[in-house]
């Protein structure tokens, strides 16, 4: 229970994955690595909408979470949805271990603009940190510059910073410390044994 | 701050329920879900949710509209959002007619739903703030269990504070149910006599001989049945206050006895020969016009002057209608707790009906009406339907009859005269009631040569 694992779901650029893994490892203070890749999630595809159900994928990810994962994040190029709304950038289990983010709407090309790798990476870093924040119990923050502020359109993703606000950091630090204590408790008996 | 608000998602489809609940939880709300209308109603009975997301089409049992109607029976002010994948004009009209807060077609834009929830919560926050402020205001207008923001009542409260430390006799006049005993208690408990007894006697309830014995006590064998000596209310109230309610109803003989007590501060028990001295403050009350009774010769003028040292006239409720909302909410808060019912408030139309009613029985009648409504109310908010029994009494405020062939200036003069009379000559209050400022009222008084 000491690592943050990232798994590609369908085709995802390996370099993007490695950079995201390194980023969340540094931000949350855990070891991190890219783990098993999964095929395109046909089981979650809705032909009428042409999108993938994030709830169904998340449910599936929960069942295959590596035992030593403190957090497990699926990264996909598929466009995600929940039935109530037209799309989601990602979804997480609040206070849980799994999350998923979609890169489908983070690229400039989706909005008819010239592709820009740097912009896409910055958005992906924000989204993965945001969803991981939910797994540590953080809810949406009223501070529009905070990473935990709600983004319902891409401009809001761009407007927020790549950092949590002071209040969110305070809560996050406590939760990270709690998660690390849990790691120690589960590893000590193994060492004795 | 958001977690104080809870949302219920009602949908037969598990993924829909789970995903919307998760999405709203990420926003910081407490979210429950229900797989059917029946389960939703069970949950609504346990908790009042800030928002209900209800799917229009649910197989078997109740559909979304029926569920919403049932929820609104429990919580008339519930914000219900009907969601559907197949919008038709008919269903949209029905949903809105039946009181849906919003009718949305899924999937909708995340921004739209986020703003909708935010908007509803903002209103709920304002409503909650309003309730807290109202409670604070009620406390501000509360004086020894008497609630009023009416100018004349506020003047009475001030007078009560001023006279509470004196020994002077007080005569409280007002219609039945206006709270004469509450004022008497306020005088007693605001002054130095508070630790000593406050003894109330209803003079109208007892026959002359019984009342005499009740007030002055009796010696053993004074009359048939007087098997032992008994102290009267005057003795019991020694050091404190005696409250003589309905003093206008006492017999001429008792009027004389009472006059003697007031003059000499001493009396004899019935059948006794020992003079007993007491230190008692007398507060008398009546719903009758005692000065008229004096003129008619049914009430002793010397007793009237002895009682009427300080006079307090309590206005009837129909002359202080602005107090009705404060009183109603205060009764709801106290009585719903006493009766073990969870009634939170009253609808605007319900309140308007109570403000318009004439209240011949004054505050006591209003309290009884609220109690009856709470007992029979099936929802958490009282509505005009809960007060339909008042309509049957047929004594609502008569409609304004437009006078024939009367110049506008004459109507204005009459209205101003009547208002000044009703407010006891209080120009500030009259101006408030008439909705004009004081200088305008003075100008009109001068112009119409109105006597004050």
Return the CATH number at B341. 1.10.8.60
What span, in angstroms and rounded, lies between the C-alpha atoms of B173 and B292? 13
B266 and B368: one domain?
no
Q: Write the CATH number for B427.
A: 1.10.10.60
Nearest neighbour of B107 by CB, restricted to A84, A134, A139: A84
Residue A193 located in a structural domain:
no
Residues in chain B: 452
B366 and B385: one domain?
yes
pLDDT at residue B392, rounded to an integer: 62
Q: Which residues of A touch B (CB under 8 A)?
A: 49, 53-56, 81-88, 91-94, 134, 139-140, 150, 152-153
Cβ distance of A55 and B108 shorter than 8 Å: no
pLDDT at residue B273, rounded to an integer: 84
Q: Which residue of B has its CA nearest to A89?
A: B110
pLDDT by position in tens, chain A (length 193): 579 999 999 999 999 999 999 999 999 999 999 999 999 999 999 999 999 999 999 999 999 999 999 999 999 999 999 999 999 999 999 999 999 999 999 999 999 999 999 999 999 999 999 999 999 999 999 999 999 999 999 999 999 999 999 999 999 999 999 988 876 665 544 333 3
pTM of the predicted model as reported, rounded to 2 decimal places: 0.59
Residue A61 located in a structural domain:
yes
What span, in angstroms and rounded, lies between the C-alpha atoms of B247 and B230? 22
Residue B377, both tokens: 């109310």
B168 and B247: one domain?
yes
Q: What is the pLDDT of residues B59-76, one digit of tens each?
A: 878 899 999 999 988 888
Q: How many domains does chain A have?
A: 1
What span, in angstroms and rounded, lies between the C-alpha atoms of A112 and A116? 12
Q: How many domains does chain B have?
A: 4
Q: Identify the residue with better confidence: B132 or B397.
A: B132
Instruction: Say if residue B117's pLDDT is above 80.
Output: yes
Kindly write down the DSSP assignment for every residue of B396-450, as one continuous string.
BPPPPPPPTT--HHHHHHHHHHHHHHHTTT-HHHHHHHHTS-HHHHHHHHHHHT-
B321 and B304: one domain?
no
The mean pLDDT of chain A is 92
Query: C-alpha distances in angstroms, B65 versus A69, A167, B38, B86, B302?
Result: 45, 42, 13, 14, 72
B198 and B294: one domain?
yes
Q: Write the CATH number for B295.
A: 3.40.50.300
Q: What is the pLDDT of residues A122-133, one digit of tens each?
A: 999 999 999 999
Cα pseudo-dihedral B15, B21, B22, B25, rounded to 10 = 180
Chain B residues whose beta carbon lies within 8 Å of the beta carbon of residue A83: 13, 15-16, 19-20, 106-107
Terminal-to-terminal C-alpha distance of chain A: 18
Chain B residues whose beta carbon lies within 8 Å of the beta carbon of residue A127: none
Chain A residues whose beta carbon lies within 8 Å of the beta carbon of residue B121: none
Burial tier of B424 (Cβ tally within 10 Å: 0-12, 13-18, 19+)? middle
Phi, psi angle pair for A81, to nearest 5° = -145, 160
Residue A69, both tokens: 């994962």
Q: Which residue of A has its CA nearest to B53?
A: A84
Residue B147 located in a structural domain:
no
Cβ distance of A56 and B15 shorter than 8 Å: yes
Chain B residues whose beta carbon lies within 8 Å of the beta carbon of residue A91: 19, 22-23
Cβ distance of B16 and A84 shorter than 8 Å: yes
Which alpha helices (DSSP H) does B149-232 contain, by range?
Answer: 151-163, 180-190, 208-216
Cβ distance of A83 and B108 shorter than 8 Å: no
Q: What is the pLDDT of residues B355-368, one digit of tens each?
A: 989 999 999 999 99
CA angle A85, A90, A96 (to 5 degrees): 115
Alpha-carbon Rg for chain B, nearest whole angstrom, is 30
Residue B111 located in a structural domain:
yes
Cβ distance of A139 and B114 shorter than 8 Å: no
Angstroms from B16 CA to nearest CA on chain A? 6
B182 and B125: one domain?
no
For residue A44, how many other CB atoms are within 10 A of its CB? 22
pLDDT at residue B424, rounded to an integer: 75
How far does Cα B286 stand from its chain's mean position?
Answer: 22
Nearest neighbour of A91 by CB, restricted to B2, B22, B27: B22
Q: Which of B287, B313, B339 represents a domain boundary (last residue)?
A: B313
pLDDT at residue A191, rounded to an integer: 38
pLDDT at residue A185, rounded to an integer: 63
Angstroms from A49 CA to nearest CA on chain B? 10
Q: Which residues pair with B173 in a beta bridge?
A: B286, B313
Query: How many A×B Cβ pairs under 8 Å?
Result: 74
Residues in chain A: 193
How far does Cα B361 stand from its chain's mean position?
Answer: 12
pLDDT at residue B397, rounded to an integer: 55
Q: Write the CATH number for A102.
A: 3.40.390.10
Q: Identify the residue with better confidence: B336 or B3.
A: B336
Instruction: Say if residue B16's pLDDT is above 50.
Output: yes
Which alpha helices (DSSP H) does B191-296 contain, by range?
Answer: 208-216, 233-236, 252-264, 290-296
Residue B156 located in a structural domain:
no
Q: Are B434 and B414 in contact (CB under 8 A)?
A: no
Residue A160 located in a structural domain:
yes
Cβ distance of B26 and A134 shorter than 8 Å: yes
pLDDT at residue A113, rounded to an integer: 95
What span, in angstroms and rounded, lies between the C-alpha atoms of B363 and B379? 24
Residue ranges making up the domain that contains A102: 3-187
Cα pseudo-dihedral B264, B266, B269, B273, rounded to 10 = -90
Q: Identify the residue with better confidence: B27 or B206.
A: B27
Q: Which residue of B has its CA nearest to A91?
A: B23
B340 and B301: one domain?
no
Question: Does the CA dihedral B148-B154-B157-B161 come out positive or negative?
Answer: positive
pLDDT at residue B401, rounded to an integer: 64
Task: Name the active-site residue from A120, A131, A153, A162.
Answer: A131
Residue B149 located in a structural domain:
no
- Stretch B109-115: mean pLDDT: 88
Residue A161 three-state SS: coil
Burial tier of B338 (Cβ tally within 10 Å: 0-12, 13-18, 19+)? exposed
What span, in angstroms and rounded, lies between the C-alpha atoms of B287 and A103? 81
- Crossing angle of helices B151-163 and B427-434, in 10° steps, is 150
ipTM reported for the complex, 2 dp: 0.85
Whether A131 is catalytic is yes
B14 and B123: one domain?
yes
The mean pLDDT of chain B is 88
Q: What is the pLDDT of residues B435-451, one digit of tens each?
A: 888 888 988 998 888 87
How far does Cα B97 stand from its chain's mean position?
Answer: 33
B228 and B352: one domain?
no
What span, in angstroms and rounded, lies between the C-alpha atoms of B244 and B185? 12
Q: Are A133 and A141 in contact (CB under 8 A)?
A: no
B285 and B365: one domain?
no
B413 and B358: one domain?
no
Cα pseudo-dihedral B412, B413, B415, B421, rounded to 10 = 160
Chain A residues whose beta carbon lies within 8 Å of the beta carbon of residue B3: 139
pLDDT at residue A193, rounded to an integer: 31
Instruction: Say if residue B396's pLDDT is above 60.
Output: no
Q: Are A165 and A141 in contact (CB under 8 A)?
A: yes
B346 and B362: one domain?
yes
Residue A192 located in a structural domain:
no
Residue ranges making up the domain that contains B69: 2-136
Instruction: Say if residue B58's pLDDT is above 60.
Output: yes
């Amino acid at each position: 229970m000491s690592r943050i694992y990232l798994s590609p779901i369908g085709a995802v650029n390996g370099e993007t994955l490695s950079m995201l893994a390194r980023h969340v490892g540094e931000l949350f203070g855990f070891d991190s690595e890219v783990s098993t890749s999964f095929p395109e999630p046909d089981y979650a595809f809705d032909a009428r909408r042409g999108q993938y159900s994030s709830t169904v994928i998340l449910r599936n990810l929960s069942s295959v979470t590596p035992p030593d994962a403190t957090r497990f994040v699926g990264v996909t190029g598929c466009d995600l949805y929940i039935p109530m709304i037209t799309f989601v950038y990602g979804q997480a289990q609040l206070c849980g271990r799994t999350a998923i983010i979609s890169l489908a709407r983070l690229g400039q090309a989706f909005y008819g603009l010239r592709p820009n790798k740097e912009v896409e990476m910055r958005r992906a870093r924000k989204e993965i940190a945001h969803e991981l924040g939910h797994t540590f119990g953080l809810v949406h923050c009223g501070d529009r510059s905070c990473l935990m502020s709600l983004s319902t359109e891409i401009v809001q993703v761009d407007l927020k910073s790549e950092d949590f606000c002071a209040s969110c950091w305070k809560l996050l630090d406590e939760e990270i410390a709690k998660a690390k204590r849990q790691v120690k408790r589960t590893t000590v008996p193994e060492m004795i044994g | 701050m958001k977690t104080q608000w809870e949302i219920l998602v009602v949908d037969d489809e598990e993924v829909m329920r789970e995903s919307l609940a998760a999405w709203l939880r990420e926003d910081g709300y407490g979210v429950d879900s229900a797989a059917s209308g029946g389960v939703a109603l069970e949950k609504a009975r346990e908790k009042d949710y800030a928002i209900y997301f209800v799917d229009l089409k649910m197989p078997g049992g109740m559909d979304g509209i029926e569920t919403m109607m049932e929820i609104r029976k429990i919580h008339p002010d519930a914000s219900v959002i009907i969601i559907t994948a197949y919008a038709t004009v008919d269903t949209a009209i029905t949903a809105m007619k039946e009181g849906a807060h919003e009718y949305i077609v899924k999937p909708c834009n995340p921004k739209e739903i986020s703003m909708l929830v935010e908007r509803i919560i903002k209103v709920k926050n304002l409503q909650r703030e309003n309730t807290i402020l109202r409670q604070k205001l009620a406390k501000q207008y509360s004086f020894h269990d008497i609630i009023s923001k009416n100018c004349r009542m506020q003047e009475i409260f001030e007078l009560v504070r001023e006279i509470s430390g004196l020994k002077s006799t007080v005569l409280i006049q007002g219609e039945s149910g206006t709270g004469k005993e509450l004022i008497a208690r306020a005088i007693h408990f605001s002054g130095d006599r508070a630790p000593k007894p406050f003894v109330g006697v209803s003079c109208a309830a007892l026959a002359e001989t019984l009342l005499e014995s009740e007030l002055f006590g009796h010696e053993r064998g004074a009359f048939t049945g007087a098997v032992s000596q008994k102290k009267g209310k005057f003795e019991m109230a020694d050091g404190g206050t005696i409250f003589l309610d309905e003093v206008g109803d006492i017999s001429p003989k008792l009027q004389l006895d009472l006059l003697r007590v007031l003059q000499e501060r001493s009396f004899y028990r019935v059948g006794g020969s020992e003079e007993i001295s007491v230190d008692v403050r007398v507060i008398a009350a009546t719903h009758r016009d005692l000065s008229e009774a004096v003129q008619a010769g049914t009430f002793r003028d010397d007793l009237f002057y002895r009682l009427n040292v300080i006079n307090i006239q309590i206005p009837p409720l129909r002359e202080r209608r602005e107090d009705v909302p404060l009183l109603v909410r205060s009764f709801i808060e106290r009585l719903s707790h006493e009766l073990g019912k969870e009634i939170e408030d009253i609808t605007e139309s319900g309140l308007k009906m109570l403000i318009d009613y004439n209240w011949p029985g004054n505050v006591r009648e209003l309290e009884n009406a609220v109690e009856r409504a709470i007992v029979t109310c099936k929802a958490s908010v009282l509505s005009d339907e809960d007060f339909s029994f008042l309509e049957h009494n047929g004594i609502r405020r008569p409609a304004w009859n437009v006078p024939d062939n009367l110049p506008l200036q004459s109507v204005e003069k009459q209205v101003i005269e009547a208002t000044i009379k009703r407010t006891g000559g209080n120009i500030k209050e009259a101006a408030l009631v008439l909705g004009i400022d004081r200088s305008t009222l003075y100008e009109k008084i001068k112009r119409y040569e109105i006597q004050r």
